[in-house]
Structure 1
């Protein structure tokens, strides 16, 4: 679907056509997950009630996103953005050389990052839940795995943000704004 504006922008230029890419569920999921993860991470040892509530909310969001990855619109579906490792590495190589192709939806590296973040967060939620059960209450091993996965997630988030900044620069588009508006510039 292409939207063309009849308005004239600054300097008499016609604004570029845009397409709807990110549906409201994906955008709300993304920003809610980011906010809840920051809350959970910040309250880890200090405010247990808030930490646990944020963890359960994250688990609910993750379950919803997995379902949406199979039934959601085109760009939300895993089949649209999960690529084989060779494609991911080829894309990363091209990205490092500033010649990566532009994707309307997630690029192969972005798709791999989504899978990595989902796996790390599911693991964090599962180990967090395990620590509340009688079987694993006080287990240092489970606690260490939980903390490792949470810290791994922080590292993945940093890599994700760097990837978004590089792709935004390389393709001259504001990917953060598109995750707010849901729209991206139409094909070049």
Structure 2
């Protein structure tokens, strides 16, 4: 008996993939490599924020699977997903929790950009609460990134496909 390979569908367009991997690089470098307050740290932070702003635009006007209306779920959908977690369905794009995780991650990037900008202004330069806020958001972002990675690996296993590779080539198995 011949095994039929699943039909693949193009889900993540080039902009979404470039956005994703650009944020991965910016966040990694800013958390682990660059020095706080140095020009490379600031530039990477603004690049990340710029990509988030562009992604927000793309969420309304981009390709079908990039649009928020496709993957931002209502609270009712999230609770249903959690209630039926063991028998949950597979989604063509992001599942209800993953969609909101993406919004949370992007919000953290914007929060870091705003607090980082504030630290460089005359009004807030040297203000301890702004620096603490920036560090706090950074730590929350890194925790959320860890959860995001674990979730992507877990869902890869559940869906029996490599979602990380999908974010490289753009394809995902078609969901019936």
Question: TM-score if structure 2 supplies the norm length?
Answer: 0.93
* Larger Cα-atom Rg: 1
Report the CA distance between 1:46 and its aligned residue.
5.5
Which of 53, 60, 70 aligns to 2:50? It is 60
- The answer on 1:32 being equivalent to 2:32 is no
1:92 and 1:45, CA in 2 relative to 1: closer, same or farther beyond 3 A? farther
How far apart, in 2, do the equivalents of 1:120 and 1:89 lie?
Answer: 24
**Structure 2 residues without counterparts, runs of 5 or longer:** none
Once superposed, which parts of structure 1, at least 4 consecutive aligned residues long, lie more than 6 Å away?
none
TM-score by length of 1: 0.87
Q: Distance in 1 between matches of 2:37 and 2:131?
A: 16
Report the Cα distance in structure 1 between the residues aligned to 2:125 and 2:98, rounded to whole angstroms.
Answer: 36
Aligned equivalents of 1:117, 1:85: Cα separation in 2: 18
Task: Select the residue among 131, 143, 148 that pairs with 1:160.
Answer: 148
SS, match of residue 134 in structure 1: coil
State the partner residue of 2:8.
Answer: 18
Higher relative contact order (CA 8 A, sep 6+): 2
* Shift of residue 15, structure 1, vs aligned partner: 3.2
- Trace 1:159-178 onto structure 2 (pairs within 5 A): 159-178=147-166
Gaps of 5+ in 1: 1-10
